[in-house]
Structures are given as structure tokens and as C-alpha cells.
Structure 1
């Protein structure tokens, strides 16, 4: 079914090959890659056994065989590249965040709407089966949501010698930990609960105002040890961690803790959704498990099993119970939802699509604006 669609991927860093793998597992033809240089594209294509390395992004745009382009490039490139893809008449799946500013995001939402093309943002964590199960349970019941608390913790920027383009405001944006991983949590909470953020109270912290950068570029999650003479000091203004209080429309309250300097936590997203009926607890480092808390009955420990996850989660569970599905599977399943929409064409019902739209991407940018303002002014900011 998906083999009728041909895709190209821009970006050969950490996440570009993840897109390639997810697409190929789905059955999509991935013709090739573009990168910062032709040499990088050729190296990646050889490693991934792809047929074509594009000399540059413009050559990829000009390829009439490509129906879809995936953008797995630094944040600063999202806005101009999305505009170029839409202008070229191709569907686009963009890594988060959608753009550097909400003004850019609004423009991209308008352009995507005018183009009639499919446009998505890769908030892939929606597609852990247990998150789909929580979404279904909350939608089917009439329980009132009281609170949503949780966080996203990593340690890959723990030391002052840890460096990546994401720490630079001109490459990643004014926010870093919040934008890079915090928006995953915010998007997931909106997706599962349907709650809309009404106001934020934020406290941001830069643990390392000075980092020591390698005198050559490094990739994400690189553990290479460098000598002092190989490093240069740079000033950092982006956040290493953040505490954020949330007010949701309708009265529910929330709390989000985000950090990229928490030793031992490699990629830990957690939430605890407390309702008048039950509480739902999820941890992305144990993504095949869901704890369902009860007051007047025994609590449940639900393991991922296609025999038990019916309805909404069912199409996104591809392995039997006891056969774990993890991070790479979320990409495949996100792309499944997106490519189903492409195949449906005008018959697609956006209300039934599970992938994050450009409107969803814009929502996170608007929340980030409010977080920046709240921290600067040390007060609640209403959206």
C-alpha cells in the first residue's frame, strides 16, 4: 500500500536515519538523502543502502519522483525548508519544533492550509500503544481530570564539555530543554487528555552558562572523550532545565519538570493523569507498561498486548504481548498515520488523524512564547 509513495529525507544526523528506518519498515520507498555536504549524504546513503545522495536540498526539491520530504535538520532550518517543500508541491513531515518562532509557525500553518498538501510535525511519542490506550480511555469516559504532573529527563548534556548545536540559541531557539523535549510532553498531554493550556508559570535554569565546545562539530548523544586543548569556551543562554506550573482550560492543573542534566536518566518521559475515576501513570523508559490507579478497587498493571488493546490503539500494535515495542516503533506508527492521510487525499478527516498537525506544532510554539515571558517577568502568563 505505502510502496506507491516515494520519500526523501533531509538530514543525516541522529534522527534522519531513524526516519529512514521507520519509513522502510512501513514499506515506503526512500529514494535518498540530502545533507550539509554531498560527502555526508553519500556516506549516509552507503551506510543505509539508499540509491541516491542529493548534492543539496535544492536538488531534492527538484526531484519529481519524490512525493514527500522529511525534514530532520537543525531547528533554524525548519521554517525555510518547510516553505520550500510546500512551494515544490510535496507533502512534508517536519521534526519538532515546527519553527523558531510562533510568527513563523503561523505563516507555515497558513501556507500548508492553502497548499492542500499533508503537513505533519513528528511528535512521535503519541504512538506508544499505551499512550493511545490512555487517550481512548479518557475519551470514552466522563471522568473529570484533576491534575497532570510529570516530566522529561535526560543526562546527555550533564557535563560542561557536552556540546551540540541545540545548546546555541541561534540554531535551536531561545528555549532548548523545553523546546527540544518539553514540547514532546506538552503535545502528549494535549493529545491524550484533550486539555488546552490556559496559563503558565515558568522558572528556567542554565546550569552551565559556559560550555566547552569541541573545535570540530559533534553529533547528538556523542560520548567521545576530548582533550582540553581540543575545546573552546562558549557562552550559553538556553535552558538546561525548567520547572513549569500549568493551568488548563476547565480547571485542571499541571506541573512539568524538564531537564537535560539529570544523571542516569537517558530518555525518561513520565506523566501521571489523575481523574475522578482513575489515575494513569506512564514512563517512556518502560513504554510497554501502564499503571492504572484505583481507589475502591485493586490498581491495574496493564502490559502491552494486542489482545487487550482494542479500538484506537489496535492498528498501532504490531507485535504480540511480551514482544516489546519501543522508540523506533513510534516513528513507524507516526508515519503510518501520516501516510494513511496522504493515501486518503481529500477523503481524509483531520479530526480522525492521530499525527501532529502544523496547528499542533504552532500550539507548542505559542506555549513556549508564554514560558519565555513568564520566566522573564516571574509571573503567570495567560495564552
Structure 2
């Protein structure tokens, strides 16, 4: 039988599971791309309907039974990713899953096996790779512009869990997992550092700390980044870290370090990296995402503003607005899904995906395991391959 003709992105249909903060962003980004959102599944049909973002399926089972749905997006709490991913893949649907891919590396390894044997397109939602100037950084390093890469350093700082009264389901061990700051935002930094440098992290030495050992948990549910000042509360002992510092070594010989914190006052979404090479350096941060700093010793430093006409072709392919017309965080979702849905339209994953797959999600879990062991045993730990 000859292969099926490629489809257009506008002919594809998606279903989104989860209608919290990130679920709403997925729906919006898909519509920016021109993909039809067939419907959403919430924690209850009533809560999903109250969001008013798309038609509502009563359950995941009902969504999976809809033959018109090509791709399912999972934006549910972490502990649901593993069972729901298996359910989606077994139903024959292509899949985008929010990170972490699973609660443990054993679970994520199983999902890699299931996904790869299915022949379906599978993606771990490391959307932050898709800031245009992050792709520009990767392209410049790949061409050898920086020379030999010596040092990759930076971090990810936020302040949304600064106060003892700040609350979110990610603070719950059984829903969020054993690593919080590392798993939630540190995973993004490690994925980006490896993506940009072209090198894998192979050793870690970590120091993690819980700054607020007991928080004041609302008796009811609170959505991510929502305020809940006038609610009844109860004490909730914490078992996960608020901040961490990690030394890293890369397989290409580079050294590095990063720090994470969800209690860094004034830092709203400060993901940042700097790469130092034998010829030059570059640096970028998500709070000034339209600028890429280029450092040199014997020439003036430069500040490259996002401008497709001045960027490497692989980076320019992910930017569309003229310079000075900001493309932001939501656009990274759109550009990630452009790559994913191009593969779906072709009918199967490419040999070398240009988007993060379940294997990337599994690698993040394996790195988390090594960081947890390093912190507990106060030593360097090799990352299993």
C-alpha cells in the first residue's frame, strides 16, 4: 500500500486534557497554529465548561473514542502523565505530554518503549527550546563560532512560591513527585543547556534545600499562579525542595553549574544561560528574550535583537514578526507544535525529530534521579546513559 498523502496542519484535530493554566495555553497555541481543537477534558465536565475555551468531553475515554481527534495533549498533574500517556498511545493517538513525562524514570522508560513501538508521534513539552534566540544560540555554537565550549552556566528563578501561604498541587508529593524545583523548572534548564550546547550532562553534584518546611495549605483547590488570600488553611509539612545548586559535567568536556529557586523575590520567569567558549561567548534570559548577548575579548560586545533577517536559517524559521514586535512565551508553544504537527501531518515521526520526544522526557527523569542521589549522598554522581 503506498504511503498516505501528507495532510495540512489545518486538517488536523486536537484534544486537550486538563483545563488549568497550562491547558488553556495549549488550546490558545494550537489555534494560533491553525489546528482545530475538537474539545477539552477537565477534572469535571462542569469545571471544563466554566472555562469556556472549547467544547467539553465528559471523560478522557470519550475523547479517545472520537475518531476525528488526531493528537492528544496531556496537561494534567504529574502523577497522571504515565497512566494517561499509555491510555492515549494504546488508543492510537499521537501525543504531546507536559513534563515531567512521568513520576519516576522507570515509568518514563516504559513510556519511551511504548511510544517508540507505536509508530506514533510523541513529544515531551519542553517548549522553552523554541524561543527564536535559543535556536540562534544553538546554531551559532554548532557552527563553531564560540570555539571549544568550556563553560555552560545559568539557572531558573521564580518567586511564585516565596511565601508560606503560596500553594499549588506541585507542592504535594503524591501529585508533583519527589523533586519539585529541579523537576519543574530545573528540567527546563537542563534540557535547554543540552539543546543549546549540543552536549549531554553526564555527571552531577547537587545541593538541594527546603526553605519553607511547613506551608499553609488552603483547604480547597487553588489554580497555578492564582491568589488565595481569604481561605481556610491548614499546616502542610514539605518534603520537596524550594531551591537547589547543581554542578554539572558534559560529555563534550564542558563544565557548568545552575541554580533553581521558586522563592527568588522579583524573579518572575528568569530562565537564563551563558555559554563561554575559547573564541567568544553568548548569553540569553527569558525575561529579556528578544535579546542575545554576544561576548568577545578583542572586539566590542554585541546585543542581537531578534530579527529573522540577521539570524541563522534554522532560528529564523521559528520567528515571524518584524524586529521590535515581541514574540513571547506563548509563541514557543506554537512553534513546538508546528514541528510536532508537521510530523503528524506526514504520518509518522521523522528519523531525527526537531522537537523534544519522550526520550528527552526520560532523560530529564534520569538526570533528576542522579541529582537526588547526589544530594542525599553529598557526592558527584554519574548519570546513567
Band the TM-score falls in, shorter-chain normalisation: over 0.9
Note if 1:382 corresponds to 2:382. Answer: yes
Q: CA RMSD in A?
A: 1.0
SS in 1 for 2:332: helix
Superposition TM-score, scaled by structure 1 size: 0.96
Residue among 58, 75, 91 paired with 2:61: 58
Q: CA deviation digits over 1:31-84, x for unaligned, max 9?
A: 11001111011112x2x2x2x211111111111110000000100000001000
Q: CA deviation digits over 1:114-135, x for unaligned, max 9?
A: 1000000110110000000011
1:301 & 1:269 partners in 2: Cα distance? 18
Report the equivalent of 1:184.
188
2:64 & 2:275 partners in 1: Cα distance? 43
SS in 1 for 2:199: coil
Report the equivalent of 1:355.
355
Mark the runs of 5 or more structure 1 residues left unpaired by the alignment: none
2:88 & 2:299 partners in 1: Cα distance? 53
Report the equivalent of 1:209.
213
SS in 2 for 1:174: coil
Note if 1:364 corresponds to 2:364. Answer: yes
1:314 & 1:344 partners in 2: Cα distance? 22
2:291 & 2:180 partners in 1: Cα distance? 29
1:208 & 1:297 partners in 2: Cα distance? 46
Report the equivalent of 2:336.
334
8 Å contact from structure 2 (residues 128, 332) kept in 1 = yes
Task: Please state how far the C-alpha of 1:350 moved relative to its aligned partner.
Answer: 3.4
1:297 & 1:116 partners in 2: Cα distance? 50
Task: Please state how far the C-alpha of 1:314 moved relative to its aligned partner.
Answer: 1.8
Task: Please state how far the C-alpha of 1:301 moved relative to its aligned partner.
Answer: 0.5
Task: Please state how far the C-alpha of 1:349 moved relative to its aligned partner.
Answer: 3.2
SS in 2 for 1:54: coil
Report the equivalent of 1:158.
162
1:341 & 1:111 partners in 2: Cα distance? 18
Task: Please state how far the C-alpha of 1:319 moved relative to its aligned partner.
Answer: 0.2
Q: CA deviation digits over 1:90-136, x for unaligned, max 9?
A: 00000011110000011000001110000001101100000000111
Report the equivalent of 2:229.
225
Report the equivalent of 2:174.
170
Report the equivalent of 2:39.
32
Note if 1:111 corresponds to 2:118. Answer: no
1:337 & 1:34 partners in 2: Cα distance? 24
For residues 120-135 of structure 1, what are the structure 2 equivalents within 5 Å?
A: 120-135=123-138
For residues 241-256 of structure 1, what are the structure 2 equivalents within 5 Å?
A: 241-256=243-258
1:224 & 1:95 partners in 2: Cα distance? 25
Equivalent residues, number: 375
Task: Please state how far the C-alpha of 1:223 moved relative to its aligned partner.
Answer: 2.2
Task: Please state how far the C-alpha of 1:344 moved relative to its aligned partner.
Answer: 2.1
Superposition TM-score, scaled by structure 2 size: 0.96
Q: CA deviation digits over 1:284-330, x for unaligned, max 9?
A: 00100000000121111000011112310122101001101110100
8 Å contact from structure 2 (residues 15, 40) kept in 1 = yes
8 Å contact from structure 2 (residues 139, 312) kept in 1 = no
SS in 1 for 2:308: coil
Task: Please state how far the C-alpha of 1:345 moved relative to its aligned partner.
Answer: 2.6
8 Å contact from structure 1 (residues 86, 115) kept in 2 = yes
1:357 & 1:113 partners in 2: Cα distance? 10
8 Å contact from structure 1 (residues 90, 117) kept in 2 = yes
1:306 & 1:195 partners in 2: Cα distance? 26
1:24 & 1:349 partners in 2: Cα distance? 24
Mark the runs of 5 or more structure 2 residues left unpaired by the alignment: 1-7
Report the equivalent of 1:258.
260
1:368 & 1:110 partners in 2: Cα distance? 20
2:274 & 2:18 partners in 1: Cα distance? 35
Task: Please state how far the C-alpha of 1:226 moved relative to its aligned partner.
Answer: 2.5
For residues 1-40 of structure 1, what are the structure 2 equivalents within 5 Å?
A: 1-40=8-47
8 Å contact from structure 1 (residues 214, 226) kept in 2 = no
Report the equivalent of 1:310.
312
8 Å contact from structure 1 (residues 210, 236) kept in 2 = yes
1:226 & 1:234 partners in 2: Cα distance? 17
8 Å contact from structure 1 (residues 374, 380) kept in 2 = yes
Residue among 267, 286, 289 paired with 2:288: 286
